Amino acid sequence: MATDELLLELAEKEICSLRFYTWTEPTVSLGYFQSSSLITNSETLKVLPWVRRTTGGEALVHHHELTYALGMPLKIAGHKSTVWQEKIHLVIREALSNLGVIQSEINLPEQRNDPGKLLCFHHHAPQDLTINRNKILGSAQRKRKTGIIQHGGILLAQSKYTPSLPGILELTGIRLDAEILRLEIIKVWGHSLDWVFNESDWTREEKERIMVLENARFGNAAWNTKR
C-alpha cells in the first residue's frame, strides 16, 4: 500500500506508473475513508490481516487475485473519474478474451447494491466488469491536486473467506495464471491506448520513500485504526 501511495506521489511529479502485484496471504483492505470497526465487527474478516488503501471504495478480500495500480498526472487523466475506469476495464476485458474468457462484459446499465454487505464485490456500479452478473473486476480512485491513482483487483478464483463471490475459475472453468494475464494486459494496453512501457526497478530514493510511508502510515497501527 505504501508503494501504491508512491505512485500517486510520482503522478504529482508528472510521471505515469503502472504496477501489478499479487498477495502472499489472504488480506483485507479497507478503503481510505472506511472505519476500522468494520473489521473488528466482522466474524469472517477479523481473522485476516488487514491494511488500509490509498484509494477510496469499500472493503476487499485479496486472495486469488491480480491487482493493478495506475498513477497518472491529472493533466493526462482528466477530471472525470469514470473515463479511466472504463478505459482500463475495456483493456482488461480484451486481455481476458484473448486468454479465453469471452463471457465478461462491462456493467454499463446495471447498478446493484446489497445493503448490509461489507465487501466491494457485492456492489455493482457502471464500468465494473462482470460475468453472468457476478463482478470480477472493480476499481477505486484517489485524487490530489495534480495526480490520481486508480487501483483495482481482478478476481481469478473464489476465496474460502468469501464463498458468495465466485471468481473467473468458478464462472468459466478457466484457471488463469496471474503473470500471463499481466503480460497480456500490458500488450493490449499498449495497442489500445498507444502507450509505450519501460519496465524498471525502484530507485534507491524511491525504496527509501516507500519505507517512510510504510512506517509512518500503512504499517502503523495507530494510523490504520484512526478511523
Annotated active-site positions, please?
A: 120
- In this structure, are residues 156 and 176 in contact, taking their beta carbons and an 8 Å threshold? yes
Cell numbers 497518472 correspond to: 72
50 vs 149: CA distance, rounded Å: 20
- In this structure, are residues 152 and 141 in contact, taking their beta carbons and an 8 Å threshold? no
Strand-pair category, 134-143 with 147-155: antiparallel
Q: CA angle at residue 53 from 175 to 76, to 5 degrees?
A: 85
176 — phi, psi (to 5°)? Answer: -95, 140
